[in-house]
Structure 1
Amino acid sequence: MNIINCLILVLTVQVGDAENDQRHPAAWHSTINELGAPAGAAFLPDGRMLVTEQHRHTVSIINPNDNVSSVWIESGTLHQPHGIDANDVGVIAVADKGNHLVRFFNSEGTLAHTIDGRRLSGKRFRSPMDVALSNANLAVADTGNNRIVVFNRNGSYRWSTDEIENLDLRAPEGVDVDDLGNVFIADTGNHRVLVLDSDGNLKRTWGDWGRFPGLFSEPSGIERHGDQIYVADRLNHRVQIFDTDGELISWWGMHAVVPRQGEGHIHYPSDIAIDASGNRSLVSEPFERRAQTFKPGPPSRPLRSNTRAPRGLQSHFGAQVDAGSRGLVTWEPEARSLPVFVMDRDVPIHVTTFGTPGEGPGRIGKIADISWNQRGDVITILDSENNTIQHWKVSLPPADNPRFNPEAAVLLSSSSLPKLPDGSFLNPLSADYDDDATLHVIDGNEDQIYSFRNRELIPWKIDFDPVAIDARAGTIAVADGRTGQIHLFDNDAQPQRSIGPAPDLSSPNPGGVAILGDGSLLISDAGSDRLDHFSPDGGHLGTLSTSGGDHGEIWMPGEIAEDANGRIIVLDQGNHRMQGFEPDEGWVLTFGLGRAMTPERLKRSKQP
């Protein structure tokens, strides 16, 4: 599509929006706050709403009259539940992502049945992220296996997309099915939508990566209602509506100006549900820990934000960060690029950005993790969307003459991720190099750790759920996703001891772990917005942060690194920035791609 056609498309959509949105549930109606990273959304036949809460490992039910949520399925059964759906006869299905299962509940919330996919389809589910129920069919987005699996109403296997030639799904996160058996797929990694008939034949497909209406950036949720298809377009912060031929009808949603802004602004939507009448929609936003409801009418515009964040500092970083020698690297999912900073000064200096979106050597899909090998300043990228491992050499500028150099990063190699014994690709969650330059990787599908040695994957012997890893000075620290503990190993994967969790931490959701130069340890928690510090022998030294958007406050923190000046750098993902702390002083730095802030600068900015 050339630029003229793109402009015509945008103008056409904008002109028609006001009229079309009068009949779609796109006008903001209400907000349900203080949810635990809600991922999946569904309506019950009586109009009540269900949301899965990943961080609390529960399902909550919302009364449509007062929008008050209450726990419907208690924690203990589910782990990181994602998609959810209900049919007309009171059956509720939940994609129990963390346990790699699909569970069925009755209308009272009682567990009725569980399937793992193995007996029915010959392959167990891996990180399933959505389910869809009609009165005749069940469809599962088996995300970790890059497939959609379809069953009939009595649980008998019908077909799977990995048996269909040339579909090549990539981590599909959304699925819906109608009463005729047509299947609607949000093919997240390929940034497109597919429609298959009841026998698995491809009827149509549309979409590609991009910002213009009609294009997608990680479509994550999909809902068919009548002759319309609603898509939660995650990284474009919107919902798009199409007809069954794939023609764009309308869209709504707009990126928040400041964090926590809602009232019609949508921020990283995960799923969308439409009620039986078509007059209400429910959009889940795990990043903001909320869900919003919409009704027919023109899109509402927000009036204010409940939380003020420092302006000029926000950058759309992912959760990944690592430091090595004098540098630090992170990545921007929306641009598919990696910014590099020099950290040996009071204020970080942005010295290069590398990577472009797409496939092939040097191209970036979706980065699972990045690791800075200090031997030669080589950055390793694990790309779970393109199934590649890339190595980049970064030449940092001299300390006395820091400057931006767009050609400072050079691709050394790009190869396919290694495969597991069953032939599937490694699905990396977190990785780091030890002092012997061995790369240790957590696999999210197998809940396992592997070491790369002589081009072989060597599995560890563990009995916990690993989610984050860091290595330093002969010790490897691994965060336990279920308990919040830190398990310590030597470089040969032999267990040493376990420490933590923090004494007052409930429902742990570790975002990152780090070993500091003095041997103490840090662990971030994305669910409770905290950064906990432990002594080398396991004593809890304190919590370095609080929840919020001001300097020194964090929201959904990701990974942690120690920079060249000994500062603790945390990826403050929920506030679109990075922050620096020192154990004895607390907050010392806020920075991104814009102007950095320090306590001294902040003091001067407040002077009359």
Structure 2
Amino acid sequence: MALVSILSLVSAFLGAQDCPAHAQPLRQLDRIDGAVGTTWISADLRSALGIEGSGEVLLVSSGETNTVQWIDDKNVAQKIERLANLQWPIAMASDEEALLVAERGAGRISIYHGSTQFTLGEGVLRTPSAVAASGTLVAVADDGLGEVLIFDLAAPNNAIVARHSGTRPTGVAFDELGNLWWSDAAQHRLHCVADLGRGATKHFGERGSFPGQYTEPRALFARGGCVFVADHLNHRIAIVDAKSGAFIGYWGMHAVVPRQGDGRIHYPDSIALNHDGSIAAIAEGFEDRVQLFTTGGDAWVDDGLGSGKGAVSSHFGSESACGGDLLALHEPETGAVILFDTASVPPYNVATVGASGASPGRYPSVSALGVLPGMSKFVIADESRGLLDIWSCAIDRTKPLFWDAFGARLMRSLDLTKFRYDDGSKPARVPRIVDIHIDSAWIYALDAANRDILVFANTLAYSLRIPLPKDAREAVEFCRIGEEFVIVDPASACLWVGGDSRNGDQWRKVTALHSDDGEIPLVRPMGVCATASGALVVSDSARDQAFLCAPSSATSTTIARVIGERGELDEQFWLPLSCA
């Protein structure tokens, strides 16, 4: 029996049957660059926002174009003039009277209520990833803070009335039962908090693809006693009973390769239902599209394997590292780290380590990789378990290469949940390592939770910390050139350069690179690395390009070569992320 049939049979025995366990593909809206957030708004709110026509309407937010668009009667996306000048609108929520937009680039929530507009959370939020509202309460998931914050618009100064800590909160929703639901992508589970987020908490889920399991759950939507989960790395929408947390069913068939659609889902970012619950809109930012489904009906059975000739799977994650002849890549759907010998053409897979689980050498959420140059060793950071591990992988070049199940060995492990600074003090939060840079003597770890660069010897003995610039909002990757660090901050659309151990408070902000034709502004920089000659390389996911700068003894931002355009061929990119 096919796996899809087994899952369908299991889900039939779970949870309340009033929730739509299945859905049917209705329509696909293509060419919506960076579609990431969806919400349906009422006719009254439509009129207040100046959108022509009548009746409810679907809105789609784009992090690439910094716009919120509405879908007209011909299924064409149209810009909303009143919602101009947004900064990375990553998520939306609405009720009959108001629209809420989470602006990741500005660190705030913009609220549109009739003809009134105001903001929430400025100076408090860092990188909001989701928003939800119930009455006067507004819940915000902020993965940069590692918290879900609940604001009360009826309280003085819109006070925060509750906080919930996590590792990487990515979704929030209020249900009709008075519960707050939120997802933690790093822990692969859902949280249900009673009393509108101010009561007792229950937890549901673990990493996996079977009923009741999730892999990096993102946005949530609650309606009619059901919770709908954008199960990002399982490429599906999971449906949960709001009363019990039981898994009821799932929608969509995993798109095996990019550009598959027509009911096959690829990296869902958000889901929203219209007011009568008959149509669901699912945003897939990686595919630049929104798919519409009609809720209900029988299980939609399709093997999803029609990949076409020459199709290439794209399931390596954003974490990568290389040094010498060793290349390490993360495969996020299995949780494994795959090792390649780059002296071979093409690179040869010599070992695989990891996968999800709680035993030593298992990593539910790999957040960074590093390779010790010339030492046949590599480093893995896991944000879920709070680990920093060193492995060895010696390649015997006197013999033909082969895949060796025992070729990699765990050498050292540092439990970051017990980490202390050199003065014995405890960090405010468990370090969340999002990138690693290694030279011949030191391991530099970028701690996004505490906004530091942690410096270790190659034995994992702690040495010192270097504070990040105070105005940095989202440090995702970094490198070292000479005595300077270069940090990527996509939320601020910039690089930060400086911060050596002697002058940790001296940083300069770089918002554009320079060429003979003038400046090229950074839009959504995501990756950075340095070549052996000291040249800076920056990838920009919104531009689908990488920029190779001229080598220099200091960090140069003068472009020597522009690489890439959107596509799938050599030297073409599709939302490029990491550099190594």
459, 473, 480: which one aligns with 2:467: 459
299-308 or 228-237, larger mean C-alpha shift:
299-308
Aligned residues of 2:466 and 2:501 also touching (Cα < 8 A): no
Residues 1:193 and 1:439: Cα distance change in structure 2 (over 3 Å): closer
**Alignment partner of 1:547 out of 549, 558, 566:** 566
Counterpart secondary structure, 1:546: coil
> Aligned partners of 1:217 and 1:304: how far apart in 2?
19
Matches within 5 A, 1:125-140: 125-140=125-140
Query: How big is the shift at 1:63?
Result: 3.3
RMSD over aligned Cα atoms? 3.7
Number of residues of Structure 1 aligned to a counterpart in Structure 2: 538
Q: How does 1:77-92 map to 2 (within 5 A)?
A: 77-78=86-87, 80-89=88-97, 91-92=98-99
Structure 2 CA distance for aligned equivalents of residues 55 and 452 of structure 1: 36
* 1:469 paired to 2:478: yes
Alignment check: 8 A CA contact 2:373 2:439 kept:
no
- Alignment map for 1:162-311 (pairs within 5 Å): 162=165, 169-179=166-176, 181-198=178-195, 200-202=198-200, 205-244=203-242, 245-296=244-295, 297=297, 310-311=310-311
Mapping 1:40-119, distance limit 5 Å = 40-46=37-43, 47-63=56-72, 66-71=75-80, 76-78=85-87, 80-89=88-97, 91-107=98-114, 111-116=117-122
1:343-383 per-residue CA deviation (whole Å, 9 max, x = no partner) reads: 11332111000113123542212222211121523212222
C-alpha deviation, 1:341, in angstroms: 0.5
Residue 500 of structure 1 is matched in structure 2 by 513
Structure 1 residues 241, 467: CA separation in 2 closer, same or farther (over 3 Å shift)?
A: closer
In the other structure, the counterpart of 1:520 is: 535
Counterpart of 2:404, as a letter, is N
SS at match of 2:264: coil
Asked whether the 8 Å contact 2:256–2:307 carries over to 1, the reply is: no
Q: Does the residue aligned with 1:12 lie in a helix, a strand or coil?
A: helix
Offset, 1:41: 2.0
> Helix, strand or coil for the counterpart of 2:209?
coil
Distance in structure 1 (CA, Å) of the matches to 2:60 and 2:363: 32
Give the Cα–Cα distance (whole angstroms) in 2 for the partners of residues 60 and 539 of structure 1: 36
- TM (norm. structure 1) is 0.78
Q: 1:60 & 1:175 partners in 2: Cα distance? A: 22
Report % sequence identity.
24
| Unpaired stretches in structure 1, ≥5 consecutive residues | 119-123, 163-168, 562-608
Partner of 1:572: none
**What amino acid sits opposite 2:527 in the alignment?**
G
Aligned-partner Cα distance in 2 for 1:271–1:540: 36
Distance 1:485 1:416 in 2: 30
Q: Give, in whole Å, the separation in 2 of the partners of 1:446 and 1:530.
A: 30
Deviates more, 1:416-425 or 1:509-518: 416-425
Contact persistence 2:321–2:328 (CA under 8 A):
yes
- 2:439 and 2:501 map into 1 onto residues whose CA distance is 7
Alpha-carbon distance in structure 2 between the residues aligned to 1:11 and 1:298: 10
Q: CA deviation at 1:7?
A: 10
How do 1:350-365 and structure 2 match up within 5 A? 350-359=349-358, 361-365=360-364
Measured in 1, the distance between the counterparts of 2:247 and 2:19 equals 16
2:559 pairs with 1:559? no
Q: Could you say if the C-alpha distance between residues 365 and 208 of structure 1 is closer, same or farther in structure 2, counting changes exceeding 3 Å? A: closer
- The residue number in structure 1 matching 2:53 is none
Report if aligned partners of 1:59, 1:72 keep a CA contact under 8 Å in 2: no
Letter in 1 for 2:104: K
Q: 3-state SS of the aligned residue for 1:189? A: coil
**Offset of 1:475 from its aligned partner?**
5.5
Shift of 1:260: 1.4
Deviation at 1:92, TM superposition (A): 2.1
1:35 to 32, 37, 56: 32
Deviation at 1:278, TM superposition (A): 0.5
Opposite residue 558 of structure 1, the aligned amino acid is L
What is the CA-CA distance between 1:151 and the residue it aligns to? 3.7
CA drift of 1:410 comes to: 1.6
Instruction: State the alpha-carbon separation in 2 of the partners of residues 347 and 335 from structure 1.
Output: 23
- Using the alignment, how far apart are the partners of 1:413 and 1:188 within structure 2? 26
